[in-house]
Chains A and B, each alone.
Chain A
Amino acid sequence: MIYLIGICISLAIGFLVIRLLTAGRLHLILNILLGLALGLGIVGTTAFYIHLIFNQFNRWMPVGIVVLLLVYLSFLNKKRMSFPRALSRNPKNKKTGPPIKTFGGDMTFTHAHAWGLLTLGVLAVPLAISAHHFPLGGWDAWSCWNLKAKFIFLAHENWKDVLTPGFSRSNTQYPLLWPLINVWFWDLGGRFDQAVPMLNSIVIALLTAGILLFGLWELTGIFLTSILAAVIVTALPFGIILLISQYSDSLLGLYLLSSFVCLLLAEKYGLPKLKILSVVFLGLMSFTKTEGLVAAGIVFLIISWHECPRKNGFPTKTFGNDIGKLVLWFMIAALPTLIFTLAFAPHTQNFINGLASTEKPTDWARISVILVYPWLELISGKWNGFWILALGGILLAGKKLWHSTLGVMALSLILYLAVVMAYYAVNTYFEIGWWLENTLSRILFALVPTIALWIGLGLKPETKAA
C-alpha cells in the first residue's frame, strides 16, 4: 500500500512537470508513462540531495521535499490553466494547434489504446513471475545496487563505508540513482523492504515497454508495429531475466529511450520545451551508471550539434537561447552526477591502463577478441534472432535511418558502442573473455528499446503530399 502511495507521488510530480512543459498537448497515456519515469528520477535525486549532501537521514525530509514540490507544481499548473485558452483544437494541425483545456492532455481513448494497455498487462505477467522467483534480483543487485541502497538507508552517516576499498567488487565508482530511488521508497515506508526494488524493476520494465509502444505509435501512427516492437523487446526470455534482475541497466535503457521519444515528439508537435525534457532524461541517465554518464555525454553533444542554428550548413558563431536552455537543464539534471563523481566516488580499483602497462598490456589478442566476440553475441540463441531482425529492418529502412533526428540516434548509438569497445581494449584489469561474457549482453540490452524505436521510425511509410 505504501509502495503504491510512493508510485502515485512520483507519478504526480512527473506528470505535472510534463503537463507544464507541454501545455496539455501530449496524449494522456504518454504523459503518464513519461511522467512516472521522470518522477522516479526526481525522487531519487531528491533523496541524493537530502541524504547525501545535507546529511539528513530523517525519513520525512526526502518525502516532505517531494510532496512540497508536488504542491508547488499543482499550484503552477492550476495557475496556467486559469489563463484564457482556445477551447477548440484542430486535430489535423498538431504542429500549431493551441493547448486544449483538459488537465490530462489529449484524452481520446480508442480500442487501440485499450489493446496497448492490455499488451502491457500481458507483458507484466512473466515479469512478475520472474521477479517473484528471484526476489533479491541478480548477483549485481545484492552485491552492488541494493547493497548500496541498504547502506545509505540503514547506515546513515556511515553510508560511505560502502565506498571503501574493501567493497571494490561492488563497483564503488558507480553513480547512485537506482539505489536512491529505492531509498526514497524506504523513507516513505519507514523501513527496509526487499519488495521495493523488486517492484520498481517491474515498473521500470513496463514503463520502457509502454513508452516504446505508445511513443512509436504516436510518432508513426502504425499501431501493429508499435505493439510488436514492445512485445519483442519485453517478452524476450533472456531480457525478462535482465529486466527483473534489479540492475541499473534497465533504468539506463528507460531514460535513453525516453530522451529520444521526447526529442522526436518535440519536433513532431512543435513543442520545444520537450527538448528540455529530453536533456533532463539524459542528465538523469548520467546518474545511473558510468556507462550512462558516457552515453549521456555523447548523446547530449550530438543533440546540441543537431540543434545548433546553422548558416550554409555550418554552425553559426552565436548560439540561440535554445541551446543555452538545453545546456542549463542538462547540467541541472546531471548535477548529482557531477557532485558524486567529484566528491564521493573513489578512484576505481578495477582499472589497469593497458596502453601504459607492461604487465598487462593491450595486445592484438585482446583486440581481436573484442572485434570478434560481439558478432558471436549478436547471433547467440538467447536473443531469439532479435539482431537478425534488426539488421533486416535497417536494410529495409535504408537511408532514412541516417538523416535528421534518426541520424542523431544512429550516430549516438554507434559512438557509444565505439567508446565501450575502446574501454574494453584499454582496461586490461579483467580477462577479456570473461568480461565480455558477463557485461556485453547487459550493455546491448539497455540499447534494445532505443534501437527498436529507431528502426520502427525508419520503417514508417512516407506520407504522400496532397
Chain B
Amino acid sequence: MGKLKIVFFICLILAAVFDLFAASIQAVAQLNDRNSIPLHSLGFQFIGLENLFKDVRTVGYYTDKDLDQPLAIAQFEQAQYMLVPTVLDLNNTQYHWVIFDCTSPQAAMEAIKKFGLTPVKANHGIILAFNPNGV
C-alpha cells in the first residue's frame, strides 16, 4: 500500500506540472491571439444605441436570420446585453424604434420599406428604423 501511495503522489505531481504547463500554453496563446474576434464582440456594433434608448423601455428587433444558428442568436443576445435596460422584443416591429439585423443591408432595407418604417441610422449592417405609428 505504501508503494501505491508513492506512485499516486508521483502521479499527482506529474498532473499538477502538466496542468500548469498546459495553462501556460493556453495563456501565451491568448496573449498572442489579438486577431481573432471572440464571440461576444458581436454586440459592440450596438454600442451607442443605449444613449438613444435612454427612456425607452422596449424596442423591436427584426431579423431574417435563422435563430437556430448560434451566431445569429448570439448577436441578438449580445445586442440585448449591450442595450439593457431597454428590452428587445424579437421580430416585433410595432414599437417606435426597431433595430434591423438582417442577412444583408438590402434585405434590411426591403423589410423596412415593407413595414413602412423610416431608416435613421446604420452601423456595420445594423439599421435603426423609426416607426411613426409605433407604441
Chain A positions near chain B (C-beta within 8 angstroms): 122, 125-126, 129-130, 132-134, 136-137, 139, 142-143, 146-147, 150-151, 154-156, 158-159, 161, 164, 166, 169, 224-225, 227-229, 231-232, 235-237, 240, 384-386, 389, 392-393, 396, 459
Contacts and interface: CB of A to CB of B under 8 A. Distances in A.
A130 to B, nearest CB: 6
Interface in B29-75: 30-31, 33, 38-40, 43, 57, 73-74
Given A142-B78, A147-B84, A231 B20 contact: yes
Contacts of B38: 133-134, 136
Given A142-B40, A155-B84, A155-B85, A225 B26 contact: no
Q: Ordered nearest first, which 9 A-B pairs have the shortest CB separation?
A: A155-B85, A235-B19, A150-B84, A136-B40, A133-B30, A231-B16, A126-B23, A129-B27, A143-B77
A154 B85 contact: yes
Contacts of A151: 84-85
Contacts of A130: 26-27, 30
Given A228-B12, A231-B16, A232-B15, A126 B77 contact: no
A223 B87 CA distance: 52
B50 to A, nearest CB: 9
A154 B23 contact: no
Nearest to B85: A155
Interface in B61-103: 73-74, 77-78, 80-81, 84-85, 87, 89-90
Given A133-B33, A232-B15, A154 B26 contact: no
Given A147-B84, A225-B9, A235 B27 contact: no
B122 to A, nearest CB: 24
The DSSP consensus for interface residues of chain B is helix
B39 A139 contact: yes
A146 B90 contact: no
B8 A393 contact: yes
19 contacts: A129-B27, A129-B31, A130-B26, A136-B38, A137-B40, A142-B81, A147-B84, A155-B85, A156-B85, A159-B85, A169-B73, A225-B9, A231-B16, A231-B19, A236-B23, A384-B15, A386-B15, A396-B4, A459-B8
Contacts of A129: 27, 30-31
Interface residues of B, number: 38
B24 interface: yes
Nearest to B17: A231
A71 B58 CA distance: 42
B11 interface: yes
Contacts of A225: 9, 12
A237 B23 CA distance: 5
B13 interface: yes
A166 B87 contact: yes
Nearest to B87: A161
B16 A228 contact: yes
Given A147-B80, A396-B1, 18 more contacts: A129-B31, A139-B39, A147-B77, A147-B81, A147-B84, A150-B84, A150-B85, A151-B84, A151-B85, A166-B87, A166-B90, A235-B20, A237-B19, A384-B15, A385-B15, A389-B8, A389-B12, A393-B8
Contacts of A386: 15
A142 B15 contact: no
B107 interface: no
A132 B31 CA distance: 9
B18 interface: yes
